[in-house]
Structure 1
Amino acid sequence: MEYTTRGVCGQEGCRETRYYLDNGLWFCRRGHQQEGRQVEEDPEIFGVQGKTNRVKKAVQEKGSKVYHGRQAYSLFLQVYQLILWKQCHALVQGRGFPAQLEHVVRDLWALRLNTYADRITDTSEGDEETQFFSSQPSASQDEPDTSRFRGKSLRWPRMIDTIGLCYLGAFIMRLPVGIAEFHRMVMCGDVPYIRITRSIPREMKDRLPQEYLSLFESARLLKAEHFQKAVLELSLLYRYKFGVQFPALNLPPILYQRISRLALPIEVYAAVKRLRGVLEFNLEYQAEVPGKSRPLHLPEVQLATLIVISTKLLFPFDDIKRYPVSTKEPTTQVIDWKLWAEAQRNFENRVRVRGKIGKGNEIQVKEKDVFGMTTNQLDEYMDWYEKSWLDNGIATNPLSDLFPIGPTAGVSHSQPTDPTPEDDEESMESMLRTVIQQTKARKVKPNADSDIPRPGSSYVRYRVESDLPETARPFYELVAKETGVSLSTLVQAAFQAESRIRRWMEDQRRMEVYGDTSGMEFAKFDSSDDMGEQDMSDFSDSDDSA
């Protein structure tokens, strides 16, 4: 009898592995009949006579891989938390942030995560899902509502809030990093945000409903001002919900960085500190923002306003000759604003001069820009596109091997390397030396003639963006860019602060002449005054003693 070796029999403890075939049925060597071992039809056997038994496979119920209800929302929060950790890890490992940043951001997220406990454990799954999507449409994930800054209205986590939490963590640690710097890191890809779904593991992505997954995608190009508004909303939320008190902006290092980046004389530093006391700016996120938000509620906008007004007082943008009383005054220097603008353009275009698009500029490339690109710039753009938009986790098409991507074998790309932070610092110092060396000296007239124009006289306030002269526009634009707001927002904030200074000077004169202290309170953030020339010579003369 012929035996065939198969698996272990297993019946009644039988360990036999040799079997024989009898009348279409399989038996082990000890006589145990094997269930389900009937001879199946072999397509290779032709013309075999007799009865053939076919095994019926058990019907398996297909379960849905996509989660719904509480399961889906729990997984959504886990993915959100994973993205937040990836961003903190990129800041610590790639950008040199302190390792404690992860702990601070984790604590902030843990506070907010507690507010979702009831929704996760809610038994009404259908109502929960409907409530989520009706109260948080996908469009609001890209740009927060600009008309409301109520912290209590933020009931669901948005993708933009991940960057906001990272910034608030750095803000609590008093790190000298602004929102504009976070925006640049996002645009350059140093912090995962754009096309973040590529960083989500495939197992999680397959189980998330498409509605939830779309909340992680950005439908439009985010601006730094969107991050400003999102951070303000988060600060109100944590103040309203948990009583978190955020510290003031770390003024000395941030102010020094801004002055260096703007290539301004160091005398602006002392003027900003004195002006801060006059305007009573605490450089903090307000505990409450009544009504529609004004730009001066943002601490970084307050700092930008102080820099703008101080610069206009010490180094005006017009051609009026104002004569200081003493050589010790900082107004003895005159900045050539045309040379300043040219030096800033050279600094901004230092990457393009090297034949590169510039890291972070790839996402802003338009169709018409392609025609003016060099071969190296096209290669750089395509490498960025492959890295940012192609999902390697998706199964490849068999024909994709005919169209290879990535650098071609044997072809060397002689592209210049990206500028290092040391190169940027050296370029900034070179720009600062160029501007300071080209400053001119103003003649000093110590006599007390009242007809002599003094620093601060004929001070012009600009109400709207269109009022800016050609000499002042590049300065305002750069300050707005480094602050993370639009040009119109900065002009509005500066105008409001200048109106407050004018009222403060009127109150000081009233006290000197009449001794009247009534009406001394500022009408905070009021912008109803008319634009015009103001005399701030009393304030600018006292800058030297600050």
Structure 2
Amino acid sequence: MEYVTRGVCGQEGCRERRYYLDSGLWFCRRGHQQEGQQVEEDPEDFGTQGKTNRLKKAVVEKGQRTYQGRQAYTLFLQVYQLILWKQCYALVNDHGFPAQLEDVVRGLWALRLETFSQKINGIGEGDEEPELFSSQPTGLDENDETSKPASRQLEWPRLIDSVALCYLGCLLLRLPVFVGDLHRMVIRGEIPFIRIIKSIPREMRDKLPQTYISLLETKSIPKAENLHKASLELAIRYSREFGVTFPALNSPLILLPYIKRLALPVEIYPAVKRLQDLVGYNYSFPKSIKGKRQHVHIPEIQLIALLVISTKLLFPFDDVKRYPHSLKEPASQVIDWDLWAQAQRQFDNIETAGGRIGKGNEIRVREKDVLGMTSSQLDEYMDWYESSWVDLSKAPNPLSDMFPSGRVGLESQQDTPSPDINVEQALATKLQAVMGQLKMRRVISDESASYLENDVSRPGSFYQRYRTGSDLPEKARPFFETAANLAGITLHTLIRAVFQTELKMAQWQDTKRRVEYHEELSDMDFSMDTSDEEMVRAENA
């Protein structure tokens, strides 16, 4: 009898480990029947024990799920090019930009691809990239290496660079485009940027390594100031490596909308042009920067800084009375800054009128804000979340039918679309409210001022500089915040740019006074020499 060695039997204290099979039942050597499945013998299978049949499996070619090395890098550039095309398509078809924008951006991208060809050839098929990547541009005031040829910071195209390329394309076409407007389109989802990886085809996305996908993910709320910095870095790079010179801003078509949006009198336009000549701003990107970078190297920041300084000169925020020489001077008008701030608040609240969150504000919602939301605001937020974050290209989950997305039932039938917001009409209302309350300042000519006992303060006198936000008077803060938001920069950046421009104006004044002083000395020396010659002639006579 053949025995099979197994574990201890355990019945009635039996310690037997050897078992045998009898009539399909297992027994230990001492005769204890074991619990378990009965084994039945099939007479037809008699004599087949020990015979093994193997089935040949179909040969399946094994492939990598994600690319590596040169393939991954090439695929990443193709995905990035697709993102550029999607952004240009949105600008041309949804926002009325000229169709030539796509050709210009394609040309700029083709130049950039030339710098990537050497890297593609230097990467092996199976090499992995050990480098660290950054999807955020560096600061302007730091001594970074982004503009140096040996830098690896800009070796990989960043997601913010795609919008910067579109802006540079608009600049080459001389279009009056604001960086702040492009940023608002990004935040509102009108330009593909946030969660852009969701719009990439699944076949391409699955082949990209996670390192490359992280370059295309939006890790934080995009800032307009980062778009300014990325545009400056790319402009310097194109100038250094390819000799591309970007034209200056189309300042008339940009300055006038600035004046209109800030509800300022149009008479401020000549003052801005005059200050531009004094400080030497040309509203264009520099070809290279020696030393430390400054915010005034960015053209649009130059323009908004001059506009703010002109406002401070002609329509100051303090209560000092300054009397012009004639009614032809722009300073003869007085702006009620309290009324201006009230009109600006009403204009800013048009997006959130009727209890709405406001398009573009959904991304700024935090956990604590949810507790105070109404049912309509929650629906608005969830609609945005579904359209922005839910990836419908994935395979459906078996449990997804139990949790349907979107609004269903009676609530979806009662839901009505929010009315369209007429921004131009709201801006016209703001202008009418501010311009209708302009007051005229008393005019005192030089002749009339000579009969007065006290000195007459003229426009531009008692000019104040602000170095930090805490130095701003209460009347000036709403204007500075609105101007900074319009230009796509922070309040701190605007104050710093204005202060740097004011220092340039002070240097111009010192130079002018020095020249006048030396001219006076030259005239005095010439008059003294002339008087000495006359005295000599008189003595000889």
Cα deviation digits, residues 470-526 of structure 1 (max 9, x gap)? 1111111111111111111111111111122122223333333431799xxxxxxxx
**Which range moves more in the overlay, 190-199 or 215-224?**
215-224
**Which range moves more in the overlay, 275-284 or 495-504?**
495-504
Asked whether the equivalents of residues 76 and 212 of structure 1 are also in contact (C-alpha less than 8 Å), the reply is yes
* SS of the residue 2:176 aligns to: coil
Q: Which residue of 1 aligns with 2:221?
A: 221
Distance, in Å, in 1 between the alignment partners of 2:327 and 2:371 is: 55
Question: How far apart are residue 121 of structure 1 and its match?
Answer: 2.1
Question: How far apart are residue 160 of structure 1 and its match?
Answer: 1.0
Distance, in Å, in 2 between the alignment partners of 1:396 and 1:370 is: 29
Q: Which residue of 2 aligns with 1:40?
A: none
Distance, in Å, in 1 between the alignment partners of 2:138 and 2:505 is: 32
Q: Identity over the aligned pairs, expressed in percent? A: 54
Asked whether the equivalents of residues 69 and 123 of structure 2 are also in contact (C-alpha less than 8 Å), the reply is no
Distance, in Å, in 2 between the alignment partners of 1:506 and 1:122 is: 56
Asked whether the equivalents of residues 236 and 288 of structure 2 are also in contact (C-alpha less than 8 Å), the reply is yes
AA matched with 1:142: Q
Cα deviation digits, residues 369-397 of structure 1 (max 9, x gap)? 22222221111100000011111111121
Q: Which residue of 2 aligns with 1:441?
A: 440
Cα deviation digits, residues 412-456 of structure 1 (max 9, x gap)? 254453535xx1011101101100111111111112447111111
Q: Pick closer, same or farther for the CA change 1:509–1:54 going to 2, 3 Å.
A: closer
Question: How far apart are residue 190 of structure 1 and its match?
Answer: 0.4
Q: Which residue of 2 aligns with 1:428?
A: 427
Q: Which residue of 2 aligns with 1:195?
A: 195
Normalised to the residue count of structure 1, the TM-score between the two structures is 0.81
* SS of the residue 1:354 aligns to: helix
Question: How far apart are residue 354 of structure 1 and its match?
Answer: 2.5
Q: Which residue of 2 aligns with 1:18?
A: none
1:150 corresponds, among 141, 144, 147, to 147
Q: Which residue of 1 aligns with 2:324?
A: 324
**Structure 2 gaps, min length 5:** 1-41, 523-541
* SS of the residue 2:388 aligns to: helix
Q: Which residue of 1 aligns with 2:176?
A: 176
Asked whether the equivalents of residues 187 and 360 of structure 1 are also in contact (C-alpha less than 8 Å), the reply is yes
Q: Which residue of 2 aligns with 1:380?
A: 380
Q: Which residue of 2 aligns with 1:483?
A: 487
Q: Which residue of 2 aligns with 1:505?
A: 509
Q: Of the two, which has the highest radius of gyration?
A: 2
Distance, in Å, in 1 between the alignment partners of 2:303 and 2:212 is: 38
Q: Which residue of 2 aligns with 1:76?
A: 76
| Counterpart mapping for 1:114-513 below 5 A | 114-122=114-122, 124-125=124-125, 129-130=128-129, 133-134=130-131, 136-137=132-133, 140-146=134-140, 147=142, 148=144, 149-150=146-147, 152=149, 153=151, 154-410=154-410, 411-415=412-416, 417=418, 419-420=420-421, 423-446=422-445, 447-449=448-450, 451-513=455-517
Asked whether the equivalents of residues 137 and 229 of structure 2 are also in contact (C-alpha less than 8 Å), the reply is no
Distance, in Å, in 1 between the alignment partners of 2:320 and 2:414 is: 53
Asked whether the equivalents of residues 324 and 444 of structure 2 are also in contact (C-alpha less than 8 Å), the reply is yes
Asked whether the equivalents of residues 333 and 441 of structure 2 are also in contact (C-alpha less than 8 Å), the reply is yes
- The CA RMSD measured in Å over matched residues stands at 2.1
Q: Which residue of 2 aligns with 1:67?
A: 67
Normalised to the residue count of structure 2, the TM-score between the two structures is 0.82
Cα deviation digits, residues 116-170 of structure 1 (max 9, x gap)? 112212254566x33xx42x42xx2034354235163322211111011011001
Cα deviation digits, residues 66-110 of structure 1 (max 9, x gap)? 111101111011001011111111111111111100000000000
* SS of the residue 1:443 aligns to: coil
Q: Which residue of 2 aligns with 1:9?
A: none
Q: Which residue of 1 aligns with 2:16?
A: none
AA matched with 1:435: V
* SS of the residue 2:413 aligns to: coil
Asked whether the equivalents of residues 281 and 302 of structure 1 are also in contact (C-alpha less than 8 Å), the reply is yes
Distance, in Å, in 2 between the alignment partners of 1:415 and 1:463 is: 49
AA matched with 2:418: T
Question: How far apart are residue 65 of structure 1 and its match?
Answer: 2.3
Does residue 58 of structure 2 align to residue 58 of structure 1? yes
Distance, in Å, in 1 between the alignment partners of 2:516 and 2:79 is: 64
